[in-house]
Structure 1
Amino acid sequence: MWKLLSFFARFYTPGKFIRFIRGTGRRLHFLPKLMTIFYCMQDKDTPKFVKLALMGALGYVILPLDLVSDAFIGIGWLDDAAVVAAALRLAGTYVKPEHLEKVRRMFPFANV
């Protein structure tokens, strides 16, 4: 499992993530959850193994070729949403109120 996370983490960089958000990301319903992952990953208190998992999740979402191609309208983002949900579940207690507050400021009507 860690090899798989490490593989997808290679596709994550802050620059790639920003480009993704500017392009495709705005159309995603789970964008607030992606931003929660991003803020949790940036936190110095988040353990390295959790950061690796979060980087893997972001890398998977950024990567255009994954289990179900994002080109398939309607179902193409389901695998990405599942990866994001799993990453947030793993991060659990490391997601701080400050992370959620930053996301709420960006997306006032989002459910985070």
Structure 2
Amino acid sequence: MDAIRRAARDEKRVFADAWRLLKRVGKTIPFAEDVLAAYYCALDPSTERRVKLILVGALAYFVMPFDVLPDFMPLIGFTDDAAVIATAIASVSRAIKPEHREKAKAALQSDLGA
């Protein structure tokens, strides 16, 4: 938990790490679009601070190499990450706008190009 708090304090690093991880595994995880929508929502200057903190915390958990179920485990490695992302998104779903989801879809269709 302390690692998530530390990571959330350094938003830029969390965003960069999340982007790198998504580029590497984005096509293989079924919740990639949700992670990207959360990413774009957290980057949006109009998103309120409370929402950003929740999303940055979830993204920080997503990029942590050591979590409850290590990400390298086939089939189940991202299960805990999906649960954290889903919970965060459910709690702030009203803040994730259609334009965030559109950007997420576009990024996935362009192979997560920068």
TM-score, scaled to structure 2: 0.79
Give the Cα–Cα distance (whole angstroms) in 2 for the partners of residues 106 and 15 of structure 1. 15
1:9 aligned partner: 8
2:46 aligned partner: 45
Does residue 32 of structure 2 align to residue 31 of structure 1? yes
> Structure 1 runs of 4+ off > 3 angstroms?
none
Does residue 70 of structure 2 align to residue 72 of structure 1? no
Quote how far apart the aligned CAs of 1:25 are. 3.1
| One-letter code aligned to 1:24 | V
1:96 aligned partner: 97
SS of equivalent residue, structure 2 residue 27: helix
* Cα deviation code 1:52-89 (max 9, x no counterpart): 11011111111110011112211111100001101111
Q: Alignment RMSD, CA only?
A: 2.3
Equivalences, count: 107
5+ residue gaps, structure 1, are none
TM-score, scaled to structure 1: 0.80
Q: Check conservation: 2:33, 2:101, Cα contact below 8 A.
A: no
Q: Check conservation: 1:5, 1:52, Cα contact below 8 A.
A: no
Quote how far apart the aligned CAs of 1:8 are. 4.5
